Amino acid sequence: MNSAYQQLLEKVYEIHDIEKAIQVLSWDKETNMPAAGNTARVQQMTTLRRLHHRLFASDEMGELIEAAATALNGASPDSNEARLIRYLRRSYADERKLPEEFVRRLSQVSGAAHPAWVQARAENNFALFRPHLEQVVALAQEMAELYGYEDEKYDPLLDKFEHGMKTAEVRAIFAAVKTELKPLLTAVTARANTIDDRFLHQQFPVAPQQEFARYAATAVGYDFSRGHLGTVVHPFATSFSRDDARITTRWNPDFLNAGLFGTLHESGHAMYEQGTAPDLARTPLARGTSSGIHESQSRMLENIVGRSRGFWQAHFPRLQALFPAQLSGVTADDFYRAVNKAQPTFIRVEADELTYNFHIILRFELEQAMLNGELAVADLPGAWRGKMQELLGVTPPTDTAGCLQDIHWTRPSFGYFPTYALGNLYAAQLYEAAIQQNPAIATDMAQGNPASLVSWLREKVHRHGRKYTPGELIIQATGQPLSHEPFRRYVTAKFGELYGLS
């Protein structure tokens, strides 16, 4: 390999290792650290973030990238080398736009906002979080200006999570989702009582819940020899390398779904990271290409696999054996129907497949309003209740069940929320393509075995890491750009059958 590229790689490895060290500190902060450690931890992470920024945004880095690009002139545009250069040029240009002083403030503001949010949420007291959120919104506005934009202020923020996607495109897709799914949601809500899910709300001791969640995660293909399951308040997945991709879950002793489907969800994220090609290791290409494609993998495992009839016909007896009293007299089909009960509720992470996207549309609209200065932070709780009523026909009784429920606004990560709904749409589109390309996948899924689906995902999605943009990847895998149609077909068929609609 030529030496200019080798020199660039050495620098890339150094920057990558610092980034992963920040993630280890963050993982420890969320899982093990005593709350009193927060101030010191934020200082440690801020120092590393500044160091990371200084190395990455340096003049030297720019020279290394361009020297390697010149030396590689003539390499196949599809080679790992050419794709890495393309990615680095873009992210380097973005990094240069942020002054180090801004990076420091970002880290400090988020570091202080997190414990305030935890307390505000626990005490249902929005006033405690409000001044922090005001700072976060101001930082997001500042960040948009630093990155710059042509059309909308939201564009450069969205681009950090879903490269190449414009706010206007997301708005058009969401408008179609809203219009086309509303009649189905209304029909299903009218028949909500035809599915009984009361048995899911009982006392379920945590230890057997954990045992089953580990079993289910293994059944869908998560590799525990290269993974780890931790307990947290707000579940996430993180990876330090393809050989150490971790998941977290929160356990609810009164309700089975949170721990079980949360574990499957995070397994999907971690499996994406575990499946990246080894030759991308220690470079920024060794991770999921975008938040939306990442979310498609978690939603695929959580819903398309984990909430399928075949999966529960195969695995319900095992669950029932762990909870013989709670699940006595319940059949696999009763269980399948209960975990798919669709109805408007307050909490996004517990929402069913049909109502979930409406929770996202709400956040997408409110984020833009705050960013554009059309909605004052002080008015957020009321605006939230109004939008919930408009979109889902329910009003949360508290801010804890309303605008304080998510961790996301402790950081200026505006633009992240829409990728959750995009993930649902990508997942349905990928699944439809998978069973068209290999009909045996549908047969295997009907028997509760997702192995052939996971192999397809490894081949079409996981191994590529970030070599392709989300737009390129979805066309390569499915032959089409992103569309909401496969999702509409998927939920119409599934919920039509579940609720006896014709």
- Looking at the Cβ atoms of 273 and 295, the one nearer to Zn ion is 295
- Looking at the Cβ atoms of 298 and 303, the one nearer to Zn ion is 298
Residue type, 169: E
Catalytic residue among 266, 273, 295, 365: 266
**Site map for Zn ion, 241-280, x if CB under 5 A?**
----------------------------------------
Q: Give one DSSP letter per residue of 107-150, joined into a string.
A: HHHHHHHHHHHHHHHHHT-HHHHHHHHHHHHHHHHHHHHHH--S
Q: Are 30 and 236 in contact (CB under 8 A)?
A: yes
Backbone angles phi, psi at 157, to 5 degrees: -75, -45
**Site map for Zn ion, 290-329, x if CB under 5 A?**
-----x--x-------------------------------
Shortest Å, Cβ 78 to Zn ion:
29
Query: What distance in Å separates the CA atoms of residue 168 and residue 151, rounded to the nearest whole number?
Result: 9
Shortest Å, Cβ 353 to Zn ion:
14
- Looking at the Cβ atoms of 237 and 433, the one nearer to Zn ion is 237
- Looking at the Cβ atoms of 42 and 354, the one nearer to Zn ion is 354
Q: Are 430 and 416 in contact (CB under 8 A)?
A: no
Q: Are 210 and 231 in contact (CB under 8 A)?
A: no
- Report CA torsion sign: 269, 215, 26, 414: positive
Query: What distance in Å separates the CA atoms of residue 164 and residue 470, rounded to the nearest whole number?
Result: 8
- Looking at the Cβ atoms of 236 and 316, the one nearer to Zn ion is 236
Count of Cβ atoms closer than 10 Å to residue 196 Cβ: 12
The stretch among 179-187, 289-297, 452-460, 481-489 that binds Zn ion (CB under 5 A) is: 289-297
Instruction: Find the farthest-apart pair of alpha carbons in the chain and give their distance in angstroms, rounded.
Output: 69
Element spanning 374, H or E: none
Three-state DSSP class for 237?
strand
Which among 292, 291, 244, 251 has a CA at the least distance from the CA of 270? 244
Shortest Å, Cβ 461 to Zn ion:
15
- Report CA torsion sign: 187, 191, 196, 201: positive
Query: What distance in Å separates the CA atoms of residue 76 and residue 80, rounded to the nearest whole number?
Result: 9
Catalytic status, residue 266: yes
- Looking at the Cβ atoms of 272 and 316, the one nearer to Zn ion is 272
Half-sphere exposure of 480 (CA within 13 A, CB side): 14
Q: Are 379 and 230 in contact (CB under 8 A)?
A: no
Rg (Cα) of the chain, in Å, rounded?
A: 23
Q: Name the residue number minimizing CB distance to Zn ion.
A: 298
Shortest Å, Cβ 295 to Zn ion:
5
Query: What distance in Å separates the CA atoms of residue 270 and residue 247, rounded to the nearest whole number?
Result: 7
Three-state DSSP class for 405?
coil
Three-state DSSP class for 239?
strand
CA 222 to the chain's CA centroid: 17
Backbone angles phi, psi at 231, to 5 degrees: -110, 135
The 8-class DSSP code of residue 349 comes to G
Shortest Å, Cβ 423 to Zn ion:
7
Query: What distance in Å separates the CA atoms of residue 390 and residue 384, rounded to the nearest whole number?
Result: 10
Shortest Å, Cβ 163 to Zn ion:
18
Residues near Zn ion (CB under 5 A) are 295, 298
User: What amino acid positions are annotated as catalytic residues?
Assistant: 266
